[in-house]
Amino acid sequence: SPVPRQYMVLLPFLIHTDSPEKVCVQLTHLNESVTLSATLEYQGENRSLIDDVVSEKDVFTCIPFSLPKSSSQSPVTFITVTVKGATLQFRSRKTVLVKSYESLVFVQTDKPIYKPGQTVLFRIVSLDKDFRPLNEDPKKNRLYQWSKVELKRGLIQLLFNLTSEPMQGTYTVVAQKASGKTVQHPFSVEEYVLPKFEVTVKMPKVITILDEKLKVTVCGLYTFGKPVPGLASFRVCRNFERATTCYGEEAKAVCDEFSGQTDNYGCISEIVKTKLFQLKRSGYENKLHVEAKIKEEETGVELTGTSFSQITTTISRITFEHSDSHYKPGIPFFGQVKLVDGSGAPIANETVRISLEGSQETKYTTNEEGRAWFALNTSALQFPSVAIRVSPAVRPYCYDHSWVVPNYEESYLQLKRFYSPSKSFLKIEPRSETLSCGSSTEVRVHYILTPEATEEEKKIVFYYLVMAKGIIKQAGTHILDLDQESANGVFQLQLPVQADIAPVAQVLVYTTSPSGEVIADSTMFNVEKCFSNKVDLSFSPSEGLPSSNAHLLFRASPDSLCAVRAVDKSVLLMKPEADLSASSVYSLLPVKELHDYHHGPDVLLEEPLEDCIPLKNIVVNGITYSPVEEINEEDAYSILKDMGLKVFTNTKVRKPWYCRIGSYVSEGARFSPPAGLRLASPAVMAGTPVNAISKGTGSCLRSDRLDATVSTPEELTETVRKYFPETWIWNLVPISSEGNADLDVTIPDTITEWKANAFCTSADTGFGLSPTVSLRAFQPFFVELTLPYSVVRGEAFTLKATVFNYLTACIRVSVTLAQSAHFVASPVEKEEESHCLCENGRKTVAWLVTLKSLGQVEFSVSTEALQSQQPCGNAIVETPEKGRKDTVIRQLLVEPEGIEKETVQNSLLCVKGAPVKEKFSLLLPSNVVQDSGRAYFSVLGDIMGTAMQNLHQLLQMPFGCGEQNMVLFAPNIYVLDYLNKTGQLSEEVKSKAIGYLVSGYQRQLNYKHPDGSYSTFGPRYGQPGNTWLTAFVLKSFAQARPHVFIDEKHIQDALVWLSYKQKENGCFRSSGKLLNNAMKGGVDNEVSLTAYITIALLEIPLPVTHSVVRNALFCLETAAAAEKENHVYTKALMAYAFALAGKEDKRKALLGSLEKEAVKKDGSVHWQRPGKEPQVDLPYYHYRAPSAEVEMTSYVLLAYLTTQ
């Protein structure tokens, strides 16, 4: 009889748009040409994935395709596969998920922590899921925004300057992808002094309740790799589960303390007895904490380190490794168990007992790795499901409620029978190790083929697929010739291991028998997380003297672009960061492996079963027997489903479904969703299945320490060290067409270890990452200073200089602090001419320093090895032929005492032929801070000139509280506008002004309340938001928008808050306090406030039709009608408000009324408050107009000039 024609189409159930996908097709035993087509009902139209005419008899091929971006909301889409020939026709329609492709974006900053005033350097990198560079635009940062950023080779470098007084705390760089999703990368801003050494605590990760002691080692190591001498102390504590406040500290934990001097390795070790910590009692936390401190000899600098041990009750634990969930009768069930102790360490040469449900126990002995392999004979098993039990050798058991009990865990494995009508099976042998990239691995496949399955066929074709990252990556066939080989045996497949199948390769092997049965198996192999672009980075040499030259050598794919950074190890000690590693990049992948038919919250419903086969009862000797329906069996469909593959076929993939006559169940009822799950769309079951996420192993960083002392040339080695960056290298380096690059660098002056790493992108091979490499900057004889972050002028602090000698000989040294006009220094102890230093010795010299000047002050300290005859104790002093001298120059920030003030005097001189003299008083107030006074003058032949010349001098860095900051912020906007419109804006002035605006904007947010308003001291002091200030901020932020990025949200929040303060009659209620009443012209009534807010809103600009503006104008119109009562200041404001609103008649009326109150003299016009003589009584001031008079006059001028 002719063999039935078969077809099978396999496709992942999850398809990403804009990304290469594959669909695999198998056609067997064809006897005529057929048309194979697969169409996707996509975005309302049918989209063809395959449309091929097949004329061969047997075909197995995988066809690539990709889908364009989708705008559809629902991810569920239908696919129809048809096979059509002259005499045959198959058609199958199923659902798949279509998701938008997400690029992988990550952000890298040069450091995890910054000081005020430093520059944050950062990079944004965008890759596709094959790690190829993508040029997509991220677009968002709250303090500063870069929009529509162009990426080059998938990356961009940007920078952001922090102000000298930023808010301290955590900041975030936020990159927004084209899809709208954001990626965040945090960094901190703090005032800090970098640590010079690291304190590490070594102790076991886990101890069991039966352990009687544990070893704790505390070590101190300088960043340049030498041990720290000093006093080490540590506390070991075990906390109580419930602490009480009744007895203070002792009620929190039970502790033990240890201390001692560090040894030659910088360490102290102690054996801690656990008896004190009552490991076997309950009522405590299951952790032993250690907090260690090392106080550096002589300088007294103290740093800490912490660690802990987990306390476990598990004495031994046994687990199954790489085990299947089903057994195949006739093929031995291979399994492996591992026996470990509480800390996870393997237990060797121990007996474990393994038993199959209901059968005899077998004893096995574990090997060195704590593993035992077993193979169970399955040929006699009749059950649809069996359990295997493994237990360690018998242990005593005891229980008491206030004690904890040692636990010896055993393990069960539930197995289901695999369904095969012909009793034919395949089994891929599992592998426990991770496959490494760049090699080829052998996959062993066991098979049993019975005559019922093969029938007459002699050449059996096995098909295999390899999936990774949710995509079919490789496919092929293996032909077995039954004339040559047995029907029960093993064959091998070669699997090339590259980055394309990382991190998990899912392998499927199957064959279809002439009867239509599908015999299949699948397994997963863990693959090393590697990249196609192999990047290598190295320093040459790997150790060098400060200020000497070094090379940073790169190797990567030809024409790559590499981004490199090198930072001082001290910065990473200060704040460890999440490393950029293969694991962290792989963790960005949207799909690492597919399982079942769900991804995140999206679930595809099970496909409906074909009609059921009725089960008939049999009557034998008058007794009725009913057949059993097994639900616990697995079939080929469950293997495909577990890999996330959708199958379209006319073969028998599924086990038949039986049903009883008279109790026929509709498929809908059979597959009703579990309670709590709702049906979303006809084809989606909503619910949140739990995905198991495999944790990648951490990356291993190699650090080769060189402890040999550096040989220095013999000539006079005088070094002057003054360049101490925290980030040394931050470059983009193009790689040559040969695949290498060489960056010439000069080692900075810090004596430390520099940590460098690089990543590269290439259009061909994609992304690559180098291991972290180190360069140790070291010299055997040097001086270091211990300085605080900043000091106030006039206050004394102790400056300490420590000389280190790592030469192999004793020397005599002198230490000197260079004199300076900026400070006064006196030695703390009696000054000695020279000090003795032997190998690994040190000496600290201290001065009491009082600073006299402000800003960054330089301290220069030198140490020199002297030519001296004086011995050092019993040791002979080696006199260097030529001197050795090290000078270190460090800067310290000196802040002034007191508060800054500025006064201005103006004079108009009218010169008609004869010279004219004018005297100015330069008298400073008596309480002026010394050296902080300065004066400058300018003369201009133009009346407006004084106001406009040196306009850029008005640019000021905003600082101070909420009011001060805004008063300094706003003029920057007006100055920018004026200079811009008059064509006088230079790039330098522009960048300065914009820098000030960004800074002022950052600062002002300190004073924002959660409700959107602003106040002088911000939300911390419990004062309510202030209406005047909020309107001023709203107006200023709105006007700053053309110049700098202002988050729209802040403008909206302030507007919403102000609208809440508006009363029924349109006027605004006053709220909050202002420190400086001159800010509002000294007039405090609702009408002035409303006029001020109306002006602010119209200047944003909001339209006159806006409800808040409309109501406010109503309030002002009512007030303007009662003309008699209005203050001249209020009238000036109202006149300008009406001018902005285009209410011409109201403006005219008010200007007419103001005209009557104008003060005219000497050919000028101004307005002043009634009854106030404009005079300021201060001895050192010239006559000047108070600000309210200036402000009123300006508003009237604006009202005259503004016409709609």
DSSP secondary-structure letter at 276?
G
User: Cα–Cα distance between 352 and 368 in angstroms, integer?
Assistant: 14
When mean pLDDT is compared across 568-572, 682-686, 907-911, the lowest value belongs to 682-686
Task: Identify any residues that bridge with 290 across adjacent strands, giving them in sequence order.
Answer: 236, 307
At residue 1133 the predicted structure's pLDDT band, cuts being 50, 70 and 90, is very high
Strands 407-409 and 411-417: unpaired
Widest pairwise Cα distance in the chain: 146
Other CB atoms within a 10 A radius of the CB of residue 947 amount to 13
What local confidence, expressed as pLDDT, does residue 163 receive?
A: 74
At residue 869 the predicted structure's pLDDT band, cuts being 50, 70 and 90, is confident
How does pLDDT run across 551-577, given as a tens digit for each residue? 999 999 999 999 999 999 999 888 887
Contact at 8 Å (CB) between 195 and 293? no
What local confidence, expressed as pLDDT, does residue 1075 receive?
A: 66
Q: What are the structural domains of the chain?
A: 106-189 (2.60.40.1930), 197-312 (2.60.40.1940), 781-895 (2.60.40.10)
What local confidence, expressed as pLDDT, does residue 92 receive?
A: 86
User: Cα–Cα distance between 160 and 157 in angstroms, integer?
Assistant: 11
CA dist list (Å): 703 to 461, 511, 534, 543, 711: 51, 51, 20, 12, 22
Three-class DSSP category at 450: coil
Cα–Cα–Cα angle for 41, 45, 47, nearest 5°? Answer: 65
Residue 541, preceding peptide bond in cis (omega within 30° of 0) = yes
Three-state secondary structure of 1163-1194? CEEECCCCCCCCCCCCCCCCCCCCHHHHHHHH
Residue 1180, pLDDT > 50, answer no
User: Cα–Cα distance between 18 and 65 in angstroms, integer?
Assistant: 10
Residue 680, pLDDT > 80, answer no
Q: What is the mean pLDDT of residues 412-420?
A: 84
At residue 941 the predicted structure's pLDDT band, cuts being 50, 70 and 90, is low
What tokens does 196 get? 């010079």
* Top-confidence residue, 1 or 1203: 1203
User: Cα–Cα distance between 1074 and 186 in angstroms, integer?
Assistant: 36
Highest mean pLDDT among 2-16, 379-393, 905-919: 2-16
Residue 715, pLDDT > 50, answer no
Helices 1144-1157 + 1187-1201 axis angle, to 10: 140
User: Cα–Cα distance between 105 and 184 in angstroms, integer?
Assistant: 10
Cα–Cα–Cα angle for 444, 448, 453, nearest 5°? Answer: 130
Three-class DSSP category at 84: strand
Residue 627, preceding peptide bond in cis (omega within 30° of 0) = no
Q: Long-range contacts: 191-194, Cβ < 8 Å, 24+?
A: 191/115, 191/116, 191/789, 191/790, 192/113, 192/115, 192/574, 192/789, 193/787, 193/788, 193/789, 194/568, 194/570, 194/571, 194/573, 194/574, 194/726
Q: Long-range contacts: 52-59, Cβ < 8 Å, 24+?
A: 54/27, 54/30, 56/27, 56/30, 57/29, 57/30, 57/31, 58/27, 58/28, 58/29, 58/30, 58/461, 59/25, 59/26, 59/27, 59/30
Contact at 8 Å (CB) between 436 and 343? no
Place of tokens 């005097």: 905
Q: What is the mean pLDDT of residues 951-973?
A: 76
What local confidence, expressed as pLDDT, does residue 1078 receive?
A: 58
How does pLDDT run across 243-293, given as a tens digit for each residue? 777 777 777 889 999 999 999 999 999 999 999 998 988 888 999 999 999
Contact at 8 Å (CB) between 1140 and 1098? yes
Length of the chain: 1204
How does pLDDT run across 36-65, given as a tens digit for each residue? 898 988 777 788 888 888 888 888 999 998
Highest mean pLDDT among 133-137, 424-428, 910-914: 424-428
User: Cα–Cα distance between 1000 and 485 in angstroms, integer?
Assistant: 83
CA atoms within 13 A of residue 728's CA, in its CB half-sphere: 31
Task: List Cβ neighbours of 1125 (8 Å cut-off, separation of 6 or more).
Answer: none
Place of tokens 């794919």: 557
Q: What is the mean pLDDT of residues 646-670?
A: 66
How does pLDDT run across 592-608, given as a tens digit for each residue? 888 888 887 777 777 66
Contact at 8 Å (CB) between 493 and 442? yes
Cα–Cα–Cα angle for 984, 989, 990, nearest 5°? Answer: 90
Backbone angles phi, psi at 1009, to 5 degrees: -90, 160
How does pLDDT run across 1062-1072, given as a tens digit for each residue? 999 999 998 88
How does pLDDT run across 294-309, given as a tens digit for each residue? 999 889 999 999 999 9
Specify the amino acid at residue 860. Answer: S
Q: What is the mean pLDDT of residues 90-118?
A: 88
Residue 966, pLDDT > 50, answer yes
Three-class DSSP category at 971: helix
Other CB atoms within a 10 A radius of the CB of residue 279 amount to 21
How does pLDDT run across 318-335, given as a tens digit for each residue? 888 877 778 887 777 878
How does pLDDT run across 1046-1099, given as a tens digit for each residue? 888 888 889 999 998 999 999 999 888 776 665 665 566 889 899 999 999 998
What local confidence, expressed as pLDDT, does residue 675 receive?
A: 34
Cα–Cα–Cα angle for 480, 484, 487, nearest 5°? Answer: 60
What local confidence, expressed as pLDDT, does residue 1179 receive?
A: 42
Strands (E), 72-176: 76-84, 89-99, 104-109, 113-114, 119-127, 155-161, 169-176
Helices 1107-1121 + 1048-1060 axis angle, to 10: 50
Three-class DSSP category at 16: strand
What local confidence, expressed as pLDDT, does residue 532 receive?
A: 92
How does pLDDT run across 356-403, given as a tens digit for each residue? 776 777 888 888 888 888 887 777 777 777 778 787 766 666 677 788
User: Cα–Cα distance between 381 and 332 in angstroms, integer?
Assistant: 11
Contact at 8 Å (CB) between 309 and 206? yes
How does pLDDT run across 164-191, given as a tens digit for each residue? 767 788 888 888 777 778 888 888 999 9
CA dist list (Å): 834 to 256, 826, 882, 1000: 43, 17, 17, 52
pTM of the model: 0.67
User: Cα–Cα distance between 1043 and 1041 in angstroms, integer?
Assistant: 5
Other CB atoms within a 10 A radius of the CB of residue 1072 amount to 17
What local confidence, expressed as pLDDT, does residue 695 receive?
A: 32
Q: Say what percent of the chain tops pLDDT 70.
A: 87
CA atoms within 13 A of residue 269's CA, in its CB half-sphere: 9
Backbone angles phi, psi at 1139, to 5 degrees: -65, -45
Average predicted confidence (pLDDT) for the chain:
83
Task: Identify any residues that bridge with 310 across adjacent strands, giving them in sequence order.
Answer: 206, 287
Task: Single out the residue of 194, 121, 187 nearest to residue 158, CA to CA.
Answer: 121
Classify residue 1067 as exposed, middle or buried by CB count within 10 Å of its CB (0-12, 13-18, 19+): buried
CA atoms within 13 A of residue 465's CA, in its CB half-sphere: 30
Three-class DSSP category at 495: strand
Residue 985, pLDDT > 90, answer no
How does pLDDT run across 718-759, given as a tens digit for each residue? 788 888 999 999 999 999 999 999 999 999 999 999 999 999
What local confidence, expressed as pLDDT, does residue 88 receive?
A: 82
Q: Say what percent of the chain tops pLDDT 90.
A: 32
What local confidence, expressed as pLDDT, does residue 686 receive?
A: 31
User: Cα–Cα distance between 1139 and 1095 in angstroms, integer?
Assistant: 10
Q: What is the mean pLDDT of residues 220-232?
A: 93
User: Cα–Cα distance between 280 and 210 in angstroms, integer?
Assistant: 8
Task: Single out the residue of 93, 123, 127, 97 nearest to residue 110, CA to CA.
Answer: 123
